[in-house]
Amino acid sequence: MKNSTKYIEQALILENRSLATGVYQLVVKSPQISAACSPGQFVMVKVADSSDPLLRRPLSIAGADPDQASLTLIYRVVGKGTERMEQLQPGSFVNVMGPLGRGFDLSPQRLLLVGGGMGLAPLLFAAERCCPQPVEVLAGGRTEKEMFWNELFQNRCEQLHITTDDGSLGFCGTCADLLPQMLAGARFDGVLTCGPRPMMKRVAAIAAQAGLRTQVSLEEHMACGLGVCLTCTCSATDGGTRQVCKDGPVFWAEEVDWS
């Protein structure tokens, strides 16, 4: 798991377009961060040069193209910060700090990427970087309307399996419901997962039963992203604590105290 040099960039906005209701794709010009980042890492974005909203917003990296010096972030509008972000126009700037934290270990030969909802954003970047290694993606959402990911994962993975809670697209159920039959063929040697905590816990448990190790990407409220504010502390199975921002956000599932 990689930990790299960090940068602060005043990044030109190239694109900020809606992918679905309340979900946006922000592409910024970010020469240093786009070149330094790896899948699973995140950035802290200051959306406005004002004290309200005060703090930077943590966003996982959904893609990076060092040749174009571009960095892609996918976000859902959930509060004051992302409401401001939604208003940002191409040609203006946002302040981006990163890349932060430890990302995924992509060395296993055959990875299965399991994502729920916005948790699919960092997995998009992982799928892109795995290429030409073949990866399969198991993507879950509540309804068909949330599954705009379908298009984004095209050309980035060998096979895409979709689940929706209401059965409006693909398998009816959650990712974790479909997972056992996917692992039955023993064609994978590692699992990456990002999404709601209960989903990741179940995914890791099912994968462990199949003899596979899982890397999980955790989410927590955080102020600094650098490991100093200590607001994003989580419990580890060794009895100690970890900072999601600095020791993670990607952890081996067995490191995490899920209780």
Partner 1 sequence: MSSCLQTDLAGIRMRTPIMVASGTFGFGEEFFGFTDFTDLGAIVVKGMTREPRRGNSGRRMAETPSGMLNCIGLQNPGVEVFLQEILPRIKQLDTPIIVNINGNVQEDYAYLAEVLNESGVDALEVNISCPNTRHGCMAFGVIPETAAAVTAEVKKRTRLPVIVKLSPNVTDIAEIAKAVEAAGADAVSLINTLVGMAIDIQTWQPVLGNVVGGLSGPAVKPVALRMVWQTAQAVKIPVVGMGGISTADDAVEFMLAGASAIAVGTANFINPRTVNEIAAGLRAYLAQRELSQVGELVGKIRTGV
Binding site for partner 1 (CB under 8 A): 5-6, 8, 46, 51-56, 80, 97, 221-224, 226-233, 235, 241, 246
Identity of the residue, 51 or 155, whose beta carbon is nearer to partner 1 in the bound complex: 51
The residues, any chain, with a CB within 8 Å of residue 249's CB and separated by 6 or more, are 40, 42, 60, 101, 102, 217, 218, 219
Q: Which is nearer to partner 1, 152 or 232 (CB)?
A: 232
- How many other CB atoms are found less than 10 A from the CB of residue 149? 25
Measured from the CB atom, the residue of 80 and 110 that comes closer to partner 1 is 80
- Closest approach of Cβ 23 to partner 1, in Å? 21
- Pick the closer one to partner 1 by CB: 65 or 257: 257
Q: What angle do CA 138, 187, 218 make, to 5 degrees?
A: 40
* Beta-carbon contacts of residue 197 (< 8 Å; ≥ 6 apart): 218, 219, 258
12, 29 in Cβ contact below 8 A?
yes
Q: Which is nearer to partner 1, 52 or 151 (CB)?
A: 52
Distance of CA 193 to the CA centre of its chain: 9
Min dist CB 62 to partner 1, Å, is: 23
Least Å distance, CB 107 to partner 1, is: 27
Q: Check: CB of residue 13 under 8 Å from CB of residue 92.
A: yes
Q: Rank residues 162 and 232 by Cβ distance to partner 1 and give the closer one.
A: 232
Q: Please, what is the minimum distance in Å from the beta carbon of residue 28 to partner 1? A: 18
Minimum Å distance from CB 83 to partner 1? Answer: 13
Helix (H, G, I), strand (E, B) or coil at 41: coil
Give, as one character, the DSSP assignment of residue 164: E
Task: Give the CA angle between residues 96, 37, 3 to the nearest 5°.
Answer: 105
| Shortest Å, Cβ 229 to partner 1 | 6
- Report the Cα–Cα distance between both ends of the chain, in Å, rounded: 24
Closest approach, Cβ 48 to partner 1, in A, equals 11
Nearest residue (CB) to partner 1, 28 versus 222: 222
Q: Based on the number of CB atoms within 10 Å of its own CB, is 51 exposed (0-12), middle (13-18) or buried (19 or more)?
A: exposed
